[in-house]
Amino acid sequence: MHYTRIWRLVVLSASLTVGSVCQTSLPGSDESGPPLIRNFTPKSYHASPQNWAVVQDRRGVVYVANTDCVLEYDGVSWRRIPIGNNLVTRSLAVDRAGRVFVGAQGDFGYLEPGSAGTTQYHSLTNQIPATSRKFSDVWSVIPTDGGVYFGTYQGIFLWLNPKESIRVWKPKGRFGRLMAAGTRLYVTTEGTGLHWLHGENLEPVPGGGELERGEVRNIMETPDGLMIATQKGLVTIENGTARRLDGGLKDALGGGAIYSAASLRSGMIAVATTLSGILFADGRGTLLRSIGQNNGLLGNSTTSLYEDREGGLWISSSAGIDRADLAMTRFASGEGLAGAAYGVVRNAGTVYAGTSQGLFALANRKGVPGFEPVRGIQDPLFATLPTANGLVAGGQRGLYQVAGQTAKLVPPITHVYDLAMSRGSTELLYAASRGG
């Protein structure tokens, strides 16, 4: 390849101040980094760090179950909605009509517009039979076509309308968490395993007898049966047979436990954990990726997941609230990229990023995509150009020929700011430098 200077100086006016490289791909691909994450700290929403659940109504307004109250977020500002006598809020759900239902400590109800135009809480406990009004936390709220179900350890409550008394199912011992998968409701009972609610009766789920009351955290429907998130991993029930999956989730928990899980529109399963942030698995339960405090979350002790209508994943935790944009991932210093990013290019199947500290190549680092420095370049790199003969890069010291993860300086040009191939010859390269 021959190199020649251009006679007229090309002035570049782009002001790239981005400190990271972003791309549109989902967690689990070979070229995706951590998702873009927006943090909401207790200082920003003026309530407890501990959050338990997130939902979004038909208008796009987001509600968060917080230890101090229900938080309402319109995309610009946060507002507190007190629940009863400052009750701890545990669960939220939105029905088809757009009404937001609330499960709290010893109480449940819904949100409605107040006389002053602000949102207020309306309790439903006065419709509960007097003998069943003593219960602890409402961990589940599930709207259905047949009414709204509220799940507690002491009973399952069904609200139909304002005129009827609330129906109650009592366990022989204690219930576990009430869950929905498809059109069915599921719950574990003490000593008898997993059941589903069939009319007025709780029927045993074939293959679910070994699941303990406090073990099951969520249930998701699959084409072949059920995928069950337990404290220590994922379990499938197919044709009446339960099978624990060993796809790397147990090791990734690091001594912690699964707190909740959600099936995403992409087909992935997102898992909220007590110590390891969020884990992503495929439909077979194989661990794909993880995100935690080291790459953007406010904390690693997470409690719930909610995928909003824009495709963002809301994460409630003991340190605040996060929203992860799964459609856009990023690479920064935590993924091996140093300096401000000036450009990204693909050559011969490898992604390269030129930064203020050199050239970096995207590689698979112990199963996790990340950037590694290209040997031979440590100066600011302003331009990269794929050619038929390989990658050419221009930087402060001059022009480089790149092969794989090694670069060789091509004298005598210095301070190369832009590169272009001749339209008339694949052997002719133009370089814009300080000298012309």
pLDDT by residue, tens only, the chain of 436 residues: 444 433 222 323 222 233 456 655 455 567 888 899 999 999 999 999 999 999 999 999 999 999 999 999 999 999 999 999 999 999 999 999 999 999 999 999 999 998 778 899 999 999 999 999 999 999 999 999 999 999 999 999 999 988 888 999 999 889 999 999 999 999 999 889 999 999 999 999 999 998 987 799 999 999 899 999 999 999 999 999 999 998 889 899 989 999 999 999 999 999 999 999 999 999 899 999 899 998 899 999 999 999 999 999 999 999 999 999 988 888 888 888 999 999 899 999 899 999 999 999 998 876 678 899 999 998 999 999 998 888 999 999 999 999 989 999 988 888 999 999 988 888 888 999 887 7
Per-residue confidence (pLDDT) for residue 27, from 0 to 100: 53
Which residues, other chains included, contact 113 with Cβ-Cβ below 8 Å and sequence gap of 6+? 119, 120
The three-point CA angle 266-267-271 to 5° equals 100
Per-residue confidence (pLDDT) for residue 15, from 0 to 100: 28
Per-residue confidence (pLDDT) for residue 23, from 0 to 100: 55
Per-residue confidence (pLDDT) for residue 424, from 0 to 100: 85
CB atoms inside a 10 Å sphere around CB 176: 25
CB 236 within 8 A of CB 249: no
Per-residue confidence (pLDDT) for residue 334, from 0 to 100: 82
Collapse the DSSP code of 148 into the 3-class scheme (helix H, G, I; strand E, B; otherwise coil) and give the result: strand
Which residues, other chains included, contact 103 with Cβ-Cβ below 8 Å and sequence gap of 6+? 65, 89, 90, 91, 92, 137, 138, 139, 140, 141, 150, 151
Return the H-helix or E-strand segment holding 249: helix 249-252
Per-residue confidence (pLDDT) for residue 28, from 0 to 100: 54
**Domains defined for the chain, CATH in brackets:** 2-20+334-433 (no CATH), 36-326 (2.130.10.10)
From the centroid of its chain, how far is CA 313? 4
Distance in angstroms (rounded) separating the CA atoms of residues 173 and 316 = 30
Amino acid residing at 192: T
